[in-house]
């Protein structure tokens, strides 16, 4: 069976050893595709100075994430569990062995309607209930409640049998674009990198332009950091085209 990971944030580009190791050993990075997926900056992260990180939102407009194929085929439920555990360890490096979730997030699975043995859903649900708790839009069966991703390039469904992803607990009230931008502007620890790297790697939301407008209005000192040059140019081009 063909599996993959749906990535909507720093798992794609973070250069920490745990995440580099996961990408290198578990994924075929040369096979990544951009996909339409409902995401937004909805989780306030304490470890990032209360700035916002990406989460899923089934009721929001489609943004853009990335699906990457697994390096090996998934032959049985134990193979799926192993991939889920590896994904969670990359997401949460201090997690205990064999875990797939905690209070703020968990791993969920999308199964394609055809081809997956019927008992896999039951076995995955049993494992999920033993190891994690539901974090919307992942339900108590460990299923990720979003539409099957389609490729941005041609709107065709991603050609995999199952897709793993991590869901994180969102704020009760969705933050505004200004609130998201202000959180980055008002910190001084480099966490704005999350936004610019997402943009550079094609992880996008429908309000990126509004976030960028607010950042430019406030003119933080880090705005001229050369590391963000590629993303800044793209955002400015998009803003000019929107006028």
Are the C-beta atoms of residues 71 and 180 closer than 8 Å to each other?
Answer: no
Residue range 165-193: mean pLDDT, rounded: 96
Q: Which among 96, 63, 66 has a CA at the least distance from the CA of 4?
A: 66
Q: Which pTM does this prediction carry?
A: 0.96
Q: What is the rounded distance in angstroms from the CA atom of residue 110 to the CA atom of residue 9?
A: 18
Same domain, 104 and 198: no
Q: What is the rounded distance in angstroms from the CA atom of residue 77 to the CA atom of residue 91?
A: 21
Tens of pLDDT, residue by residue over 134-164, are: 999 999 999 999 999 999 999 999 999 999 9
Same domain, 32 and 109: yes
Q: Would you place residue 243 in the very low, low, confident or very high pLDDT band (cuts 50, 70, 90)?
A: confident
User: pLDDT over 90 for what percent of the chain?
Assistant: 95
**Can you give the pLDDT at residue 186?**
96
Same domain, 113 and 207: no
**Can you give the pLDDT at residue 118?**
85
Same domain, 42 and 129: yes
Is pLDDT above 80 for 7? yes
Residue range 172-179: mean pLDDT, rounded: 96
Is pLDDT above 90 for 39? yes
The range of the structural domain enclosing residue 121 comes to 3-168
**106-137 per-residue burial string, b: 16 or more CB within 10 A, e: under 16:** bbbbbbbeeebeeebbeebbebbeebbebbeb
Is pLDDT above 80 for 182? yes
- Strand duo 62-69 + 101-102: pairing: unpaired
Residue range 113-129: mean pLDDT, rounded: 92
Q: How many domains does the chain have?
A: 2
């Amino acid at each position: 069976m063909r599996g993959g990971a749906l990535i909507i944030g720093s798992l794609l580009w973070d250069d920490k050893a745990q995440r580099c190791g996961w990408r290198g050993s578990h994924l075929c990075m040369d096979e990544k595709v951009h996909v339409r997926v409902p995401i937004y900056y909805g989780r306030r992260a304490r470890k990032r100075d209360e700035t916002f990180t990406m989460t899923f939102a089934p009721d929001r407009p489609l943004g853009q994430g990335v699906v990457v194929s697994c390096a090996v085929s998934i032959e049985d439920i134990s193979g799926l569990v192993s991939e889920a555990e590896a994904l969670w360890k990359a997401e949460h490096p201090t997690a205990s062995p064999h875990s797939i979730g905690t209070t703020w997030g968990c791993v969920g699975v999308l199964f394609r309607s055809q081809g997956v043995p019927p008992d896999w859903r039951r076995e995955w649900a049993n494992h999920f209930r033993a190891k994690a708790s539901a974090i919307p839009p992942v339900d108590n069966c460990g299923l990720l409640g979003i539409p099957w991703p389609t490729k941005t390039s041609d709107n065709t469904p991603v050609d995999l049998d199952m897709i793993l992803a991590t869901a994180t607990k969102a704020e009760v009230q969705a933050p505004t674009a200004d609130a998201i931008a202000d959180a980055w502007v008002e910190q001084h620890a480099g966490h704005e990198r999350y936004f610019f790297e997402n943009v550079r790697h094609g992880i996008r939301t429908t309000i990126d332009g509004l976030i960028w407008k607010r950042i430019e209005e406030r003119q933080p000192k880090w705005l001229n950091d050369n590391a963000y040059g590629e993303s800044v140019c793209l955002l400015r081009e998009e803003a000019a085209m929107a006028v």
